[in-house]
Amino acid sequence: MASGENTALMRKRHGIILEDRKNLTLTGVKDVSGFDEQKVILQTELGELTIKGGNLHINDFSHENGELNLDGKVDSLIYTEDKRAEGGFFARLLK
């Protein structure tokens, strides 16, 4: 098995279940980078995820399982790739 395949197998799955825009359950969460009532920033298996809304409240986060549950009004879910992993501006310019 190639090293890339090992990394893919070791990576946890990432999933989202949003019910009535009020209850959000996520899997594959590595860390919570920041949060307040309008925005929650998470590091997931597939990049940074920003959740925007109102009255957002993290009910439960299991770092071991990578599961997070929050409630409040969810307005948007925005993924951002980690640009540092791609080598920066000059690496992209030289491709």
Note down pLDDT in tens along the chain; length 95 residues. 455 545 444 567 899 999 999 999 999 999 999 999 999 999 999 999 999 999 999 999 999 999 999 999 999 999 998 655 555 555 555 65
pTM above 0.85, yes or no: no
* pLDDT attached to residue 12: 72
* Terminal-residue alpha carbon distance, the chain: 28
Between the alpha carbon of residue 89 and those of residues 26, 46, 48, 95, the distances in Å are 32, 21, 19, 10
* pLDDT attached to residue 93: 59
* pLDDT attached to residue 1: 45
